[in-house]
């Protein structure tokens, strides 16, 4: 299916900018945007330039460790930064939001206008919005959060620069990297880790046995071993332990990354 975007969404030109400190050739527009945000945040110390650069770099690294897709949109709807999880999610062809060239676009025409309206309301009126895009099994939830706009005031009249956070909802309750981290922490065997992953997907013991071609008694023994190692009272409690883990990806993410190429690689390696 071709990517599409309505005139309403393309109007603000959601141009993707590389992360801060990525390259020196990002141009004056990017530098001016960061400077304006620095003014809005009220920092004016003597070490402002060096300190702000270091802080920006640290913030970029911090955001890349969070297993939720986060995009920072600046004035006019430009994407100032996308963390690792956002870039990875939007690189999946089936995701209802896509990065095409340097623009954020909707896959379906029907989503373009509502998304543009929500972004406009966040930037100009400080309104938050929780919405879904896509359809069927490809539906995804997103949250649009105004960061610097003053509620009830038009952006042009506000003393701060409008900035909007777009948060991509997770497509699964327990992320694969969370399961791997949990399994490593409790020293689960490879087969136990596979059973845990299937349980977190909502599979029953019978379904797990059928999937892996083993007897149900084997699966039940593995579940008992997992519960003993983790102290879980039940399968439900076990899945809950994984589901509430902090969404941190850490070294596991880097091990799982495939060699990147093209537009995504320029963001990752910049």
- Give domain limits for the chain: 7-170+261-269, 176-246
Burial class of residue 208, CB neighbours in 10 A (0-12, 13-18, 19+): buried
Instruction: Round to whole Å and give the CA distance between 44 and 51.
Output: 10
Higher pLDDT, 22 or 82: 82
Q: What rounded mean pLDDT belongs to the chain?
A: 74
One fold for 7-170+261-269 and 176-246: no
Q: Binning pLDDT at 50, 70 and 90, where does residue 33 land?
A: low
* pLDDT > 90 in the chain, percent: 33
Q: Write the pLDDT tens digit of every residue in 34-59.
A: 555 556 555 555 555 566 777 878 88
Instruction: Round to whole Å and give the CA distance between 17 and 159.
Output: 24
SS3 call for 55: helix
pLDDT of residue 39: 60
Is 29 in contact with 13 (CB distance < 8 Å)?
no
Q: Binning pLDDT at 50, 70 and 90, where does residue 66 land?
A: confident
Instruction: Round to whole Å and give the CA distance between 109 and 143.
Output: 19
pLDDT of residue 179: 86
Phi, psi of 241, deg, nearest 5: -60, -40
Task: Give the CATH number of domain 176-246.
Answer: 1.10.10.10
The residues facing 71 across adjacent strands are 82, 166
Is 145 in contact with 128 (CB distance < 8 Å)?
yes
Superfamily of domain 7-170+261-269: PAS domain (3.30.450.20)
Helix axes 205-212, 190-200, angle to 10 degrees: 130
Q: What does DSSP assign to residue 85?
A: H
Instruction: Quickly list H helices, 164-204.
Output: 176-185, 190-200
SS3 call for 254: helix
Distance, CA of 190 to chain centre? 28
Q: Binning pLDDT at 50, 70 and 90, where does residue 104 land?
A: confident
SS3 call for 263: helix
């Amino acid at each position: 299916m071709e990517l599409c975007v309505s005139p309403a969404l393309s109007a603000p030109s959601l141009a993707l900018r590389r992360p801060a400190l990525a390259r020196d050739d990002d141009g004056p527009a990017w530098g001016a945007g960061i400077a304006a945000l620095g003014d809005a945040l009220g920092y004016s110390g003597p070490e402002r330039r060096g300190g702000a650069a270091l802080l920006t770099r640290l913030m970029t690294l911090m955001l890349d460790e969070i297993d939720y897709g986060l995009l920072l949109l600046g004035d006019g709807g430009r994407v100032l930064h996308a963390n690792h999880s956002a870039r990875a999610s939007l690189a999946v062809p089936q995701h209802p939001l896509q990065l095409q060239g340097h623009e954020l676009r909707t896959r379906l025409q029907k989503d373009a206008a509502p998304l543009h309206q929500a972004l406009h309301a966040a930037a100009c009126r400080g309104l938050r919005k929780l919405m879904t895009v896509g359809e069927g099994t490809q539906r995804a939830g997103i949250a649009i959060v105004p960061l610097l706009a003053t509620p009830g005031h038009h952006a042009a009249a506000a003393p701060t620069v409008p900035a909007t956070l777009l948060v991509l909802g997770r497509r699964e309750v327990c992320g694969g990297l969370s399961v791997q981290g949990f399994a490593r922490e409790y020293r689960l065997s490879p087969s136990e880790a596979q059973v845990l992953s299937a349980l977190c997907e909502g599979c029953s013991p019978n379904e797990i046995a059928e999937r892996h071609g083993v007897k149900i008694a084997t699966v039940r023994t593995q579940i008992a071993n997992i519960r003993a190692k983790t102290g879980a009272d039940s399968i439900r409690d076990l899945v809950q332990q994984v589901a509430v883990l902090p969404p941190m990806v850490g070294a596991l993410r880097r091990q799982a990354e495939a060699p990147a190429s093209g537009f995504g690689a320029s963001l990752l390696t910049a």
